[in-house]
Amino acid sequence: MVKRKTILFLCTGNYYRSRFAEVLFVSVVKKVGLPWDASSRALAIERGINNVGPMAMTAIKALEAMGIREVERCGRLPAQVTMGELEQADVIVALKHAEHLPLLQERFPAFAEKVEFWHVDDAPDALPIIESKINDLLARLLGGGGESPPQPEPEKKPATVTPKKAMTAKVGRETAGRRGKGVTTVFDLPLDEESLRELAAKLKQRCGTGGTVKDRRIEIQGDQRERIVAELEKLGFKVKRVGG
């Protein structure tokens, strides 16, 4: 009897990307008869406080459109990964290198070099990308590979994340015209639009809230000044506070 192996999919909240990957992978390996199973877990489940229900409805509907209905897998609540689950997995895949490598280094440093990283953003167009990645993974498994995941391809690192020369970022707070719902602003950075969006995504992730880039300014919901100043300084920026 062939021993079944397990692949573990990781994302931040175990609500959207990793759950879709898990259910899709299990459905396909059943059809082709591969002795593999899958599970998925969160690296930072506390950041999913705004998630509604056990799994993202967009992911469930996308699976149903493919004829895949996994009531038990789609109906369970998100779960935080444990050291034991990491140790037992034959292959571990984290869905976004730039987002999940820092979490692994912080929380499970022994596994930071043992994970296969993909480059799938937490965005509406993520699911077709995951489907393509699953097909590539299955092709490797059918060819006898997959037990030793390849090293991740280098991901382009914008100047925002690790500036060679310290840049000064101005941080303030605005409430005017926002019906009392203030935002923390980061501005006057000499960065291109792509770099600003990369930095905004990182700050939103660290603060566990929403935000946007508007008129070359990063806006993060709520009064997040202390957290944002600390994060910018960790990234190598000089920070100047403005306003109250």
Name the residue ranges covered by the structural domains of the chain.
5-142, 168-241
The predicted pLDDT at position 147 comes to 43
Question: Which residues of the chain are modeled with pLDDT < 70?
Answer: 1-2, 144-166, 177-180, 244
Instruction: Give, to the nearest 10 degrees, the angle between helix 57-65 and helix 17-32.
Output: 20
3-state secondary structure of 52: coil
The predicted pLDDT at position 91 comes to 95
Say which CATH superfamily domain 168-241 falls into: SUI1-like domain (3.30.780.10)
> What CATH number labels 5-142?
3.40.50.2300
3-state secondary structure of 38: strand
Whole-prediction pTM value? 0.62
